[in-house]
Amino acid sequence: MKAKKIWFEEEYILIETTTGKTGKMLLSWFPRLQKASFQSQMAFELWADGSWIHWEQIGEDLSVDGFFTYNKDMGI
């Protein structure tokens, strides 16, 4: 799965994939990303042909697949 668009709304990070699926996760699950300025949040790069989101400035990486498979309560 590959990211096409990434944005932030209140307490969420959201993505849209190249296939049109939309996923979101709570920013509180990622404290470094949550505490970062909007400018730092938007300073991401897409890696591995769009399947990973990387924030060099804040040391955070998220997989696009994780937006559809990760469940904080289950720890997976």
- Has residue 35 been placed in a domain? yes
- Has residue 74 been placed in a domain? no
The CATH code of the domain that includes 22 is 3.30.2020.40
Q: Residue 50: what pLDDT?
A: 87
> Does residue 70 carry a pLDDT above 80?
no
Q: Residue 76: what pLDDT?
A: 42
The total number of structural domains that make up the chain: 1
Q: What is the pTM of this model?
A: 0.84
| Cα 34 to Cα 21: distance, rounded to the nearest angstrom | 23
Segments forming the whole domain that contains residue 14: 3-69
Label residue 74 by pLDDT band (50, 70, 90). low
| Cα 26 to Cα 28: distance, rounded to the nearest angstrom | 5
State pLDDT tens for residues 17-69.
999 999 999 999 999 999 999 999 999 999 998 899 999 999 999 999 999 98
